[in-house]
Amino acid sequence: MASMRTPISETSFLVQNWSDHSQNSLIFSQNLSFSRHGFRCLQFGIVKLPFSRSNAVKNSSQTQSSTEIESTQISDVPLLSSTEVIERLRTSRETYKSKQQYLAMFSSVFGGITTDPAIMVIPLDDHMVHRGHGVFDTAAIMDGYLYELDQHLDRFLRSATMAKIKPPFDRESTRRILIQTVSASKCIKGSLRYWLSAGPGDFQLSPSRCHQSALYAIVIQDQSPSDHIGIKVVTSSVPIKPPQFAVMKSVNYLPNVLSKMEAEESDAYAAIWLDDDGFIAEGPNMNVAFVTKEKELVMPSFDKILSGCTAKRVLVLAEGLVRDGKLQGIKVRDVTVEEGKEADEMMLIGSGVLVRPVVQWDDKVIGNGKEGPVTLALLNLILEEMKSGPTTANDLTASIDISVLQERLTNMINLGAAHTRD
């Protein structure tokens, strides 16, 4: 696998290594004359395929004999058995162990769940892979609970409708599959990510030949504690997606990725998008909100951006801070850049960041440059709620071990909408 990442020009020396542990592979050494497999390069960019003697189209100006070239340029690419592919997938995973571990995956293509990360793969001819025709969503796993699963699932299915993908399962079955995938993973803290795709079929632009839409889900363990340290943001120069695409959570996240990279290039955490009228919109995977000098919580409306499940929950939890006198009011409305930069507090809100204080936007220090008290209070409220589990099923919040977790998840299936707090 590692050798596949090596430039072709450098691969020939690897032949020996490959043959050492791949007895079944067909490997071509430079000492052998060209044989049935592999490919060869002719001059002027023409590739003659080895399975036929006369199948290469020759450029009329090409004078050098192909036999001459064959002797110097041959293939080092092995033809692998399926067992070898799986072996190599496993080895390849081991070479880049990350902080995140993939504990379980469901695929409607397999029709089940696997806990072997090496085979957590999807078909290349899936319309989501080669045309970006897919939608996705997430849900945090905290102390064995899937936080706001139903809200995320609703948005997931709305996104699928907007992307004209007819899910392979109804809502209840999809929900049950997602919960069972988490149950099989035994994950206590991490995240569940899931995708609906037009499915595998062919490589055409139209999905009309896609055999069957597909559902994929993966459970990712993440033990890192939530961070409350204030961060810096910049204004994104990458154009925001038009509203039709920004309101759905499709897999077309290239602008989001470029925007995040732009932020990282400036040692910032995220780049903030402005909408076409110059109002504050959102970050690449989070919403934004502010606490004004008048102690009002203001948040841009969701008509042209993604309707964040966490942001919506923050709006509800903030009502408690109004009751306590820490906030004077809550408004969802247009927010100008000037107002945002002059605010006492700025925060990023999303399933990944939860509620994260912003202490600098471009060159402007926000408030007194420290993490704002309202922001930290909202973060604590979210964390408490995530840990406490469904308010309608408090008996499920006993201290956790694996058997309790399994039981909780089973109960979640049975409770259905009981997990919904709104």
Between CA 276 and CA 243 the distance in angstroms is: 10
Q: Which residues of 208-231 are buried (b: 16+ CB within 10 A; e: fewer)?
A: eebeebbbbbbbbbeeeeeeeebb
Closer of 213 and 285 to ligand PLP (Cβ): 285
The phi, psi pair for 289, rounded to 5°, reads -150, 165
Side chain identity, residue 119:
I
Instruction: Check if 189 is active-site.
Output: no
Closer of 76 and 150 to ligand PLP (Cβ): 150
414 sits in which H/E element = helix 402-415
Least Å distance, CB 188 to ligand PLP, is 20
Least Å distance, CB 225 to ligand PLP, is 18
Q: For residue 194, list its beta bridge partners.
A: 137, 217
Least Å distance, CB 290 to ligand PLP, is 16
Tell me the CA distances in angstroms from 70 to 7, 16, 79, one per residue in order.
Answer: 20, 20, 19
The answer to whether 146 touches 178, Cβ cutoff 8 Å, is: yes
Structure tokens at 331: 């408004």
Q: Which residues of 98-119 are buried (b: 16+ CB within 10 A; e: fewer)?
A: eeeebbbbbbbbeeebbeebbe
- Start-to-end C-alpha separation, the chain: 49
Scanning the structure block, which residue is given the tokens 């706001």?
148
Least Å distance, CB 177 to ligand PLP, is 20
Least Å distance, CB 142 to ligand PLP, is 14
Least Å distance, CB 336 to ligand PLP, is 20
Closer of 221 and 285 to ligand PLP (Cβ): 285
Q: Please give the residue ranges that form the binding site for ligand PLP (CB under 6 A).
A: 282, 285-287, 306, 308-311, 350-351
Closer of 234 and 311 to ligand PLP (Cβ): 311
Between CA 163 and CA 369 the distance in angstroms is: 42
Closer of 15 and 153 to ligand PLP (Cβ): 153
Cα angle 376, 296, 268; round to 5? 50
The answer to whether 49 touches 39, Cβ cutoff 8 Å, is: yes
Closer of 81 and 307 to ligand PLP (Cβ): 307
From 241, 249, 304, 312, the catalytic residue: 249
Catalytic residues: 249
